[in-house]
Amino acid sequence: MSDKEKSIMAEVERQYGNYGVRTRELCAEGAKAIGYICSFVPLEFITAAGCIPFRIRGDIREPITRGDSLLETIVCPFVRSCFDLCVKDRYDFLSGIVIPHGCDSMVRSYSVWSYSLNFPYFHFVNTPTVVKESSHEFFKEELRSYQKSLEDFTGKAITAEDLQKAVRLHNDNRLKTKALYEFRKADPPLVSAAELHKILTVGASLPVAEANALLDEVLAELGRRTEAPVKKGPRILLDGACVDHSAIADIVAESGGEVVVDTTCMGTRDLWPLADEDGDPVASLARRYLDRLNCPKTYRENTTGTFAGDAEARFGDIGARAKEFTVNGAILYLYKYCDPFGFEVPARKAYYESLDIPLLCLEDTYSAGTVGQLKTRIQAFLEMIG
Amino acid sequence: MTEEKKEKKPHKRMTATRAAASIGPMVKEFIAGTNRARKEGTHKLAYTFIVCHHEEILRAMDVLPVWTENFAGVCGAKRDAERFLQRAESLGLSRSLCTYALCGIGYDQWREELGETPPDAPWGGQARPDFMIETGQILCDPRSKWYQASQQFMPDIPIYNIDLPYPLFQRDRDHREVLGYYHRYIVKELRGLIAFLEKQTGRKMNYDRLSELVDLSDRIWNLVHETYELRRAKPSPMGTGDAMNTMVPMNFMMATQECYNFFSDLKKELEEKIARGEGEVEEEKYRLMWGGGLPAWYALNDFNYFNGKGASFPVETTYRMVMPLDEMDLPRTNDPVEHLAWRWLGYWTFWYDKARRRPGSEPDVERLINWVEDYDIDGIVVHQAFSCRTWHVGLIWQLNQLAKIYKPIPVLMIGTAGQKEKTNREVPSLILESDIIDITSYSEIDTRNKIDAFIETLESVRANRAA
């Protein structure tokens, strides 16, 4: 590893270990950062408003304590962890939070968030559940209300040019993160799952222009890399929702395999789809967040009349990633109390079976306390497909 | 695996009203009616959910709704849900998900596998639908996922998904600013439903009939409100235990003359009881509010247990799915579909203005405060059903907010004569924990110990007030 590579990867490591350190500094200098916990929050508006979109992370090592005195334990444990950290002032540099209609755990807890935290800005984006012409019309109006709320908060009008510029910046960001995944195609991959996780995590904590600059440096260094940091072993696809920790990828690596691609919210589900750069930016963002984010929360009509046809329409991106990254098996990693993903388990299982991809389903409670159990199951799975 | 023995049947719950006692046969009949229609081919059958403001449309098109939540509740009440839940688990569905949906999916998968009704299904079982109408709205994720999951086992059954959003309460924003585009969207969604039904039934919508049914529903809404307001009387003539029965016509028979007649009879019965000074309990000591959560359908006897301690429940937030229309300020329109959309928005934003006017309040909290006062409530009971986030997230926080107003210490208030008076306005609360239909989560002994302790707390608060 070159000195320069060491320095950029060391910087990623530094910011990962002290998550949000850079944005905290910028906020101390007067910048405004707006937190979000779900991929359905259109970040482009926050950037166009001159604020920093900041992805709130949970922490599997931090026991949920104060949060549980305000929020029921039947809420998705990832959402609970994020809320708990907010209540404990882990993200006290934020100026506000945007919560979208991502799932019941978010919608039904909106009042709890907005009344329990002392941020001056809160907004709820009501993302439709269906994809139709009427839902597009509605969503465009809803995005304009969101835009207005940011304008009221910052005291600055957001022009179409501001939004178009933000669309380009975020598209650049997504293209750069997609380029990172290219290094995962080699066998063994030239960038490890742990490294990728840290780079993407840090990227989601920075102003998008800074994230793009960091990604450029990382990509340049990885381009010069000739030696894979991991050994050859079973190649795994990680499927699931908001996986903002590396516990599963770490266990897979320790057990002789490697997560080479994912379909998670902190990964390709959110980072790969682009927004159109031409035309009305609000309409373009409505299309990106409603049509192109493939989340189980969004209902898409079965137009085929068969289960196989429906499964291909809903899960085809999984099959495409599996093929592109030549995976040997998949892990479907879900959190307890997650209704949108939980109800899809039988259909997803059947889909993986149709592709002849061995699948391990794990339901977890978002806690470091379960790592031992997960390890036993993952080791057995890797031995089976080994 | 799924041939588990049924749980022992519970003792029948004692009802306070004749009307509530008549519900069992009514539910049995509408489940039997859908099975008859399936057999004889008289009507198209639609799986669907309550609280969608679409009953008028279904009934105007002569489509028979198959209320899947109701059937799951019946399975729970008859303590016969476990075999369907286990079947759903065997498909890979987690027990932490909505157990209504798990019961329904387990049942559907079993019926499709057998090609006939599963053995000894409660009340003749749930008929196979012609189509499914789900409501992926802001209200409940399982409503958007349940039928999609069931469709895996019956891919020939089409789904129409109505998106019915409402603006979430935001303290610093007037919801009226966005109502226009919410309304336009809901109208389009409901018109889309009509087009779907016309295609499925081969019939055209009769808009005169739809207008009549919408008008009938409006009258039912006001009648239900007037009827339930009678429960403010002391002693209260009807409690939440009965309301868990009378929710059936309100939620499953809206837009029918039977529903109107039911509430006319109930109103008359309550007026007679009030005239006789007859309460839900013989000697009313405590007036409680069921402040949130769906009930444990297999343990409705717990309401009798409360009653046995002198506690009545004059009001509940659960299943109070109507509010007085004349207090909603709905825009006038002759278009029944537009009216349905306005009514939907009027219901969900009913408490917004009041909540915005009271510092620190919020619509759900505001409703609790209003009803604590209107019904002269001594304590609040909520039920946390582990499998449902829709109705059970936010309850702890609501109780916390309420406790900031109804403090456990004496506070100075301006009395009727304009003088400052020292009053004790503490309203203690009790959180019961189990599930809607998963009986394995329930312990009768623990529940009743909690109730006993709560009654002691109420007694102690009363003693402190008197001191």
Q: What is the pLDDT of residues B291-331, one digit of tens each?
A: 999 999 999 999 999 999 999 999 999 999 999 999 998 99
Look at residue B10 and tell me if it is in a domain: no
pLDDT of the residue at B1: 39
Are B394 and A109 an interchain contact pair (Cβ–Cβ within 8 Å)? yes
Look at residue B91 and tell me if it is in a domain: yes
Look at residue B43 and tell me if it is in a domain: yes
Are A70 and B400 an interchain contact pair (Cβ–Cβ within 8 Å)? yes
For residue B173, list chain A residues with Cβ-Cβ distance below 8 A.
Answer: 149
**Roughly how many angstroms between the first and final C-alpha of chain A, as a whole number?**
30
Compare all CA atoms of chain B with the CA of A69 and give the residue at the minimum distance: B396
* Chain A contact for B387 (CB, 8 A cutoff): yes
Predicted confidence band of residue B3 (pLDDT cuts 50, 70, 90)? very low
Look at residue B12 and tell me if it is in a domain: no
* Chain A contact for B396 (CB, 8 A cutoff): yes
Q: What would the mean pLDDT of B219-234 be, rounded to a whole number? A: 98
Q: How far apart are CA B398 and CA A29, in angstroms?
A: 37
Are B91 and A302 an interchain contact pair (Cβ–Cβ within 8 Å)? no
Selecting from A72, A129, A344 the residue whose C-beta is nearest the C-beta of B392 gives: A72
Block mean pLDDT (10 aa), chain A, length 386: 72 97 98 98 98 98 96 97 98 98 95 96 96 96 98 98 98 98 97 97 98 98 94 97 96 97 97 97 98 95 94 97 98 97 98 98 96 96 93
For residue B137, list chain A residues with Cβ-Cβ distance below 8 A.
Answer: 129
Selecting from B152, B390, B400 the residue whose C-beta is nearest the C-beta of A346 gives: B152
Look at residue B218 and tell me if it is in a domain: yes
Look at residue B2 and tell me if it is in a domain: no
Residues 6+ apart with CB under 8 A from B107: B71, B75, B84, B87, B118, B121, B125, B126
Structural domains counted in chain B? 1
- Taking only the tens place, the pLDDT of each residue in B153-194 is 999 999 999 999 999 999 889 999 999 999 999 999 999 999
Look at residue B29 and tell me if it is in a domain: yes
Compare all CA atoms of chain A with the CA of B359 and give the residue at the minimum distance: A115
Q: What would the mean pLDDT of B401-423 be, rounded to a whole number? A: 78
Q: How far apart are CA A325 and CA A180, in angstroms?
A: 13
pLDDT of the residue at B424: 76
Q: pLDDT at residue B400 above 70?
A: yes
Are B142 and A339 an interchain contact pair (Cβ–Cβ within 8 Å)? yes
Look at residue B13 and tell me if it is in a domain: no
Determine the structural domain holding residue B329 and report its residue range. Answer: 18-466
Compare all CA atoms of chain A with the CA of B400 and give the residue at the minimum distance: A70
pLDDT of the residue at B4: 46
Q: Bridge partners of B434? A: B385
